[in-house]
């Protein structure tokens, strides 16, 4: 009568465990990443929306703030940062690679048309040339590392707002994965694409859609996530 496993049986068992783990772990890791992204995005959106509402309660409707004509940095300093505990404002830069809470380095390495490295890329891995603008886009970093960027433009409505849920110093710095686009429409923050048809949000042939293979895809992924009940279903 055997009192234990033979070495061969142990090795076979360990091999089976290894095979099962190799099959299940990638799926578990991916699921964890999705949940983490959903949670961080929802938290960041709630934080900036509440700060925006609180600022309007003190200073009047956002659409009338005079700083929209001069400086996104001043908008963040005067109105938004005071409403978020521990928030740090980062000024704009002449170099578009030094925007979005830049602290001397960034992880993304997407090559633009001039063979220069840029911070962020679309889902098809093409570099993002706009709407990050030198001498315009300022940003604010939250205590959890989230970076929120803002553009000012007196003639443009809605205004542009971006949320990088883990900061530019952590990857992948890609639209739809850790970078999400919003807009300030009059006095409300909405996800870019909120007014798109539902079927277009994941339409391969629609530029900027949330389909991973769409041209410059990822711009409407926040709208897609919110439309799906704060759930990521595209990766």
Q: Tell me the per-residue pLDDT of 163-178, one tens digit each, with 9 for 90 and over.
A: 999 998 888 999 999 9
pLDDT at 21: 66
What confidence tens digit (pLDDT) does each residue in 22-43 have? 777 666 777 889 999 999 999 9
Q: Averaging pLDDT over each range in 28-32, 68-72, 140-144, 182-186, which range is the top one? A: 140-144
pLDDT at 108: 63
Provide CB contacts within 8 A for 185, sequence distance 6+.
Answer: 157, 158
pLDDT at 165: 98
Name residue 159's beta-bridge partners: 184
Ranges of each domain in the chain: 34-227
Q: How confident is the model at residue 91 (pLDDT cuts 50, 70, 90)?
A: very high
Copy the structure tokens of residue 155.
Answer: 């003639």
Copy the structure tokens of residue 201.
Answer: 């949000």
pLDDT at 186: 82
pTM for this one? 0.87
**Buried b or exposed e, range 87-121, using 16+ CB within 10 angstroms:** bebbbbbeebbbbbbbeeebebebeeeeeeebbbb
C-alpha atoms less than 13 angstroms from C-alpha of 79 in its C-beta half-sphere: 28
């Amino acid at each position: 009568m055997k009192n234990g496993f033979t070495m061969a049986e142990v090795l076979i068992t360990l091999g089976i465990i290894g095979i099962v783990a190799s099959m299940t772990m990638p799926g578990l890791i991916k699921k964890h990443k999705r949940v983490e992204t959903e949670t961080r995005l929802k938290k960041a959106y709630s934080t900036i929306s509440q700060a925006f509402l609180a600022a309007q309660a003190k200073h009047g409707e956002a659409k009338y703030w005079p700083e929209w004509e001069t400086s996104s940095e001043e908008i963040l300093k005067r109105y938004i940062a005071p409403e978020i505990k521990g928030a740090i404002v980062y000024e704009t830069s002449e170099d578009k690679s030094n925007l979005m809470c830049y602290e001397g380095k960034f992880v993304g390495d997407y090559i633009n048309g001039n063979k220069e490295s840029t911070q962020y890329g679309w889902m098809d891995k093409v570099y993002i040339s706009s709407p990050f603008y030198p001498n315009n886009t300022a940003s604010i970093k939250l205590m959890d590392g989230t970076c929120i960027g803002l553009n000012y433009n007196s003639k443009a409505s809605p205004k542009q707002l971006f949320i990088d849920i883990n900061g530019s110093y952590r990857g992948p710095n890609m639209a739809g994965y850790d970078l999400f686009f919003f807009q300030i429409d009059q006095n409300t923050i909405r996800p870019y694409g909120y007014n798109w048809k539902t079927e277009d949000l994941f339409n391969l042939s629609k530029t900027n859609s949330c389909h991973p293979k769409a041209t410059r895809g990822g711009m409407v992924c926040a709208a897609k996530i919110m439309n799906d009940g704060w759930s990521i279903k595209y990766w």
